[in-house]
Homo-oligomer: A and B are copies of this chain.
């Protein structure tokens, strides 16, 4: 029996948040479709932020609707507030990802709310979901800056654990623990994720790492050791931070799949198909920096997917 691990592609959302090119909806949908064809069934397809804030997502409703209805993927969408969540749920996505920061200063800067106000907003989203889409739409509670904050510096682990507990008590179906600014190190990941998993019980927990300081994949290994089996990743490592020019973004989908398969976890991912998709996504986004190593170096001669290696 080969144990499974899961990737959720966040490129069409986190990856596109900062790029210079507004990608047409049909290309975003093509990206989602081909991600599913490559074996990745969970895709964060868009963000329901106000288009005035991020013009890239002015087509959120269209992308989400097509992705959810036509492509048959486990489409999720980010929502920063009740209004976004209402639009997301109306579009038909399978999951809505609400985001708040463990750092009070970051939360105020990012969504202009205190953490208490964010949790109250999440409670309103749960009420709305229960009223209009009970049993059909899952609500994920994401905790940004869980490993540190560029504004406040250190983030106490107790704050992250308390928000996780509040999320679960209010009704989150899943937790996403995010290293938004790339501060996490493997020892910190192992400690925090062990405690998060014991709080979460049987509710799924996903890690969302950035590779800003090169520790992204080392952090994945530590999270695996703590028991995490779900990871947010972005094709071509898209998703750089605007405050660190030249810094890499989300952990790279292809490289993370390679790591997980090498460690014996079946991801179901066809890395060659991802690399083909990557070439197209690169051509759609001229002038951007792309990350990841497998695209340049190729898979080792010794590589075998975990499901084959175990036979």
Pairs A–B under 8 Å by Cβ, sample size 9: A186-B221, A213-B300, A214-B259, A214-B293, A215-B217, A218-B218, A221-B222, A247-B296, A248-B296
- Which residues of chain B have C-beta atoms less than 8 A from A148's C-beta? 300-302
A294 to B246: give the CA distance in the assembly, Å. Answer: 10
Query: What CA separation (Å) do A252 and B298 show in the bound complex?
Result: 20
- Copies of the chain in the assembly: 2
Q: CB distance A214 to B183 under 8 Å?
A: no
Contacts of A183 in B (CB 8 A): 300-302
Our pick among B185, B222, B245 for the contact of A296 (Cβ within 8 Å) is B245
Check if A187 is an interface residue, CB within 8 A of chain B: yes
Tell me if A213 and B255 are in contact (CB < 8 A). yes
Contacts of A80 in B (CB 8 A): none
Q: Is A153 an interface residue (CB 8 A)?
A: yes
Question: Interface on A for B, CB 8 Å cutoff?
Answer: 148-150, 153-154, 181-183, 185-188, 211-215, 217-218, 220-222, 241, 244-248, 252, 255, 258-259, 262-264, 292-294, 296-302
Whole-angstrom distance from the CB of A5 to the nearest CB of chain B? 13
CB distance from A119 to the nearest CB of B (A): 25
CB-based contact B217/A185 at 8 Å: no
CB atoms of A262 and B217 under 8 A apart? no
Complexed CA–CA distance, A18 and B128 (Å): 61
Q: For A212, what are the chain B residues with a Cβ–Cβ distance below 8 Å?
A: 293, 297
Q: A187-B262, A245-B296, A296-B245 are in contact. Are A214 and B153 (CB under 8 A)?
A: no
Residue of chain B at shortest CB distance from A295: B246
Q: Given A259-B218, A293-B213, A294-B214, are A264 and B187 neighbors across the interface (CB < 8 Å)?
A: yes
Chain B residues with CB under 8 A of A211: 293
Inside 8 A of A222's CB, which chain B residues have their CB?
221
Given contacts A150-B301, A302-B148, contact A187 B263 (CB under 8 A): yes
With contact pairs A148-B302, A214-B217 given, residues A297 and B259 touching in the complex (Cβ less than 8 Å): no
- Using A182-B297, A187-B262, A221-B221 as known contacts, list a sample of 6 further A-B pairs with CB atoms less than 8 Å apart, ordered by residue number in A: A148-B300, A183-B300, A183-B302, A186-B259, A218-B221, A247-B297
Q: How far is B245's CA from A214's CA once the two chains are assembled, in angstroms?
A: 20
Q: Are A213 and B263 in contact (CB under 8 A)?
A: no
Contact between B220 and A297, CB atoms less than 8 A apart: no
Which residue in chain B gives the minimum CB-CB distance to A217? B218
Contact check: which of B153, B244, B247, B259 meets A302 at CB < 8 Å?
Answer: B153
Alpha-carbon distance A153/B296, docked complex (angstroms): 19
Within the assembled complex, what's the spacing in Å between the Cα atoms of A182 and B294? Answer: 11
Are B259 and A215 touching (Cβ within 8 A)?
yes
A294's partner among B186, B213, B217 (CB-CB below 8 A) is B213
Taking CB atoms, residues of chain B closer than 8 Å to A293 are: 211-214, 247-248
How near does chain B come to A47, taking the closest CB pair, in angstroms?
24
